[in-house]
Amino acid sequence: MKKCPKCGEACFSLAGDAYDSVLYLVNIEDDGSPTTIQAEAGNEEVENTDWHGDVECSACWARFDRASFQPLQHDEPLLPYTVLLLYPDYLASIFGQEIYRDQVYARNAGEAIEFAQRHALKANDVWAAEDGADPSDFYPLFTVRGHWEDLAPPELQV
């Protein structure tokens, strides 16, 4: 199990989402995989959780890249993004008119698009290995920093 190189703590916070984005307390195994200790809300499901972002030490708040466990500078925070993706023709009822909206946390817009594309495949029960689908089949139309909501009346939302 990995420990914070700055203070020795073995408990980290990590963002993940099964249905909604939740902050989890986790241990990080030597292979980089997280083991859940507790969800922020206390009763979140963790079986199908998509882990994303960086880990943060729960004692000293030092931030580390989850994959490499290299320290991150304080100017590399996870930021909220809203991403709109165009459904690919093989999934859309009317190609060019169906959009997938996702809200993610990422270090930059490129990473936000990658996370949203993977979420779109999973949300539509499309798996790249099985169906020949690729996350990049969901074409990015718009990416903006912040979690934005559609204010249009429900009957006009896409």
Burial 54-81 (b: 16+ CB within 10 A, else e): bbbbbeeebbbebeeeeebeeeeebbeb
| Domain 79-156: top CATH class | alpha beta
What's the rounded Cα separation, in Å, for the pair 49 and 21? 9
Q: Count Cα neighbours of 37 within 13 Å in the Cβ-side half-sphere.
A: 13
Give 107-154 pLDDT, tens digit per residue: 789 989 998 998 888 888 765 455 667 888 999 999 999 888 888 888
For 11-59, how does the pLDDT look when each residue is reduced to its tens digit (9 = 90+)? 888 877 655 566 778 888 888 778 777 665 555 555 566 777 788 888 8
